[in-house]
């Protein structure tokens, strides 16, 4: 019921706003819209370009699929040694989470609206199941820092550039860098337009990240035929070692 | 053009030159001391963002190639004691099995991480300190040439081992002792290697030098022979059961290790046995101090992904 009321509350201003301004529909383009992971892949920059109504502030998000995340908790053992002292489990943690906005998020919308739209780390703590438990909540900041260290999470206020395009529309652009650790899959790209701290427009697109033929072959061989993969890896290593020994005829450390 | 290589099992991308350099370090150690280098390479790989389980397993795959090359060269030079190596290997396989069972028991009790880490520091600290002290003493006592093993004063250990059954002559090593000694010592090293998740070369080398009284030039070849089979077993088992061997990672490390081994072989020829032991002991102590510092200093982030020691 609450969700229904909320959606109605969101939808009505959006409708009124678009009717009043008579703007072109919002649109979004990704460059590239599909990224292939090859053997020389070192991450990829993706440019998000959106057409939005003129004069509104813009927030963009790129989110990967959600999954359970198991972590080890660090603490002191024997009052001296920093070691793993327990486990933490968070549910529904996105693999990737990037947010870019034209202004600081609290200036764009109310906290309740940001929470609903899952924009910003405080909002994320409400969408991740488990982050509200006492122990998990205490370590939520560490979870964010861990993901930021791997470049899988980032929030950049002022990360969206706005450029006017006529009287009724503007172009919003932002860049995100997909690090090599970002897993293959479909990423949800959202562009949201705010005016007077209310959502007045939203558009979505999908970014695809997939393996090329060579990487897919190695990954499938390892996961589906582990024994064969191990034997082949060992045989190649032995042959390479023999070849090296034969070519160089080295004596190693003998002296 | 990107100079990164994407590692499909590690799910990460690393600069090619960085991997070649790490491989070269391992090749250097392998050529100089007859150790696999896993005790050093695994922590280094973890530091550059490879998941711990993938780092340890792929490292084993690389060591298969490096130790094949080393064993082949030493076998041609006649510096592999196959008889001693086989007995140590049988003991090592048995010890590895016992070690895996012990780890499973400790994990069930929730104490595995603590025991493994403390074990690592104590082992590296004692071996490194003893080797360093003994080498310095050796250099002062007999700078040229080192005292032959036969003339050393018989210790309690030597007298006890002389009374054991199944005495046999190991021609290549020029020692005579009971077959039970390498079997039992191989088992102990296997247990330690399984607990610590490494090939065990850095424990095996001191064991061969100090407890089996083997000459250093035979120790290097025999250790490589034993490491080859240990790592072969680990590579296949890890690929099959845990799917953690990244072949591309191993291949990059291998190319680097070929270069490193050439440099290691040239340096090794210019150094005396005691100097080699001092170098080895310093490396062992540096790794130990790095681990100790990691344990005593507060981590920046108080959580870590699960999946390694």
- Residue ranges of domains in chain A, CATH in brackets: 2-211 (2.60.40.10), 215-247 (no CATH)
Among B53, B71, B214, B239, the strongest candidate for a mutation testing the A interface, having the largest count of A CBs within 10 A, is B239
φ, ψ (nearest 5 deg) of residue A34: -135, 130
Contact predicate B64/B231, CB 8 Å: yes
Number of Cβ within 10 Å of residue B142's Cβ equals 11
How confident is the model over B120-133, as pLDDT tens digits? 788 788 878 888 88
Chain A residues within an 8 Å CB radius of B31: 250, 252-253
Residue spans per domain, chain B: 4-296
Taking an 8 Å cut-off on Cβ atoms, the answer to whether B34 and A252 are in contact is yes
Name the residue with tokens 């990487």: A215
Contact predicate A172/A60, CB 8 Å: yes
Q: Mean pLDDT throughout A14-35?
A: 69
Identify the CA nearest to A240 among candidates B254, B125, B34, B149: B254
Identify the CA nearest to A37 among candidates A161, A209, A188: A209
Taking an 8 Å cut-off on Cβ atoms, the answer to whether A227 and B73 are in contact is no
Say which of A143, A227, A251 has its CB closest to residue B265: A251
Taking an 8 Å cut-off on Cβ atoms, the answer to whether A38 and B66 are in contact is no
ipTM higher than 0.85?
Answer: no
Q: Mean pLDDT throughout B37-60?
A: 80
Chain B residues within an 8 Å CB radius of A72: 303-306
φ, ψ (nearest 5 deg) of residue A165: -135, 80
B77 and chain A: CB distance < 8 Å anywhere? yes
Tokens of A206: 């999908």
**Does the structure show a pLDDT above 60 at A7?**
no
Do strands A97-101 and A153-157 pair parallel, antiparallel, or not at all (unpaired)?
parallel
Chain B residues within an 8 Å CB radius of A80: 296
**Does the structure show a pLDDT above 80 at A151?**
yes
Highest mean pLDDT among A172-186, B36-50, B258-272: A172-186
In three-state secondary structure terms, A173 is: strand
How confident is the model over B70-94, as pLDDT tens digits? 888 888 888 888 988 899 889 888 8
pLDDT greater at residue A136 or residue B184:
B184
Taking an 8 Å cut-off on Cβ atoms, the answer to whether B8 and A219 are in contact is yes
Say which of B12, B32, B250 has its CB closest to residue A253: B32
How confident is the model over A174-216, as pLDDT tens digits? 999 999 999 999 999 999 999 999 999 999 999 999 999 999 9
How confident is the model over B222-246, as pLDDT tens digits? 888 888 888 888 888 888 887 888 9
DSSP string, B156-218: HHHHHHHTSSSEEEETTTTEEEETHHHHHHHHHHHHHHHHHTS--HHHHHHIIIIIS---HHH
B161 and chain A: CB distance < 8 Å anywhere? no
How confident is the model over A80-120, as pLDDT tens digits? 888 878 888 888 899 999 999 999 999 999 999 999 999 99
């Amino acid at each position: 019921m609450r969700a229904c009321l909320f959606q109605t509350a969101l939808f009505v201003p959006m409708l009124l706003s678009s009717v009043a301004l008579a703007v072109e529909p919002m649109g979004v383009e990704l460059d590239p819209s599909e990224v292939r992971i090859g053997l020389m892949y070192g991450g990829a920059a993706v440019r998000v370009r959106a057409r939005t109504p003129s004069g509104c502030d813009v927030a963009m998000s790129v989110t990967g699929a959600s999954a359970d995340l198991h972590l080890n908790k660090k603490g002191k053992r024997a009052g001296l040694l920093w070691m793993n002292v327990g486990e933490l489990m968070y549910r529904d943690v996105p693999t990737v989470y990037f947010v870019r906005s034209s202004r600081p998020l609290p200036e764009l919308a109310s906290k309740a609206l940001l929470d609903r739209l899952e924009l910003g780390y405080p909002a994320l703590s409400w969408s991740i199941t488990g982050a509200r438990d006492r122990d998990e909540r205490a370590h939520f900041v560490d979870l964010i820092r861990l993901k930021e260290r791997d470049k899988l999470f980032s929030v950049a206020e002022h990360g969206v550039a706005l450029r006017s395009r006529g009287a009724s529309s503007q172009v919003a652009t932002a860049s995100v860098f997909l690090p090599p650790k970002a897993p293959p899959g479909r990423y949800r790209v959202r562009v949201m337009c705010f005016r007077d701290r209310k959502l007045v427009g939203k558009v979505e697109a999908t970014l695809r990240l997939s393996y090329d033929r060579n990487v897919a072959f190695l990954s499938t061989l390892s996961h589906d035929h582990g024994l064969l993969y191990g034997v082949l890896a060992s045989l190649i290593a032995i042959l390479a070692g023999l070849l090296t020994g034969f070519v160089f005829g080295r004596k190693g450390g003998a002296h | 053009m990107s100079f990164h290589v994407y590692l499909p099992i590690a799910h990460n991308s690393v600069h090619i030159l960085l991997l070649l350099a790490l491989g070269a370090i391992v090749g250097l150690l392998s050529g100089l001391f007859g150790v696999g280098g896993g005790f050093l390479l695994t922590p280094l790989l973890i530091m550059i963002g490879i998941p711990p389980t993938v780092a340890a397993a792929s490292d084993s795959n690389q060591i298969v190639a490096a130790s094949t090359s080393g064993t082949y060269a030493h076998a041609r030079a006649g510096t592999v004691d196959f008889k001693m190596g086989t007995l140590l290997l049988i003991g090592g396989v048995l010890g590895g099995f016992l070690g895996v069972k012990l780890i499973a028991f400790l994990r069930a009790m929730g104490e595995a991480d603590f025991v493994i880490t403390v074990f690592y520091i104590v082992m590296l600290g004692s071996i490194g300190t003893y080797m360093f002290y003994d080498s310095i003493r050796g250099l002062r006592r007999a700078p040229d040439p080192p005292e032959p093993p036969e003339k050393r004063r018989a210790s309690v250990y030597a007298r006890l081992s002389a009374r054991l059954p199944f005495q046999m002559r190991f021609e290549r090593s020029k020692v005579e002792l009971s077959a039970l000694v390498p079997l039992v010592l191989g088992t102990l090293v296997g247990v330690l290697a399984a607990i610590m998740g490494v090939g065990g070369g850095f424990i095996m080398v001191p064991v061969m030098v100090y407890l089996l009284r083997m000459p250093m030039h035979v120790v290097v070849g025999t250790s490589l022979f034993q490491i080859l089979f240990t790592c072969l077993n680990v590579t296949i088992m890890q690929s099959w059961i845990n799917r953690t061997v990244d072949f591309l990672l191993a291949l990059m490390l291998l190319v680097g290790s070929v270069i490193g081994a050439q440099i290691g072989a040239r340096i090794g020829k210019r150094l005396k046995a005691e100097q080699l032991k001092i170098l080895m002991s310093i490396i062992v102590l540096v790794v130990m101090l790095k681990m100790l510092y990691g344990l005593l200093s507060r981590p920046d982030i108080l959580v870590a992904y699960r999946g390694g020691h």
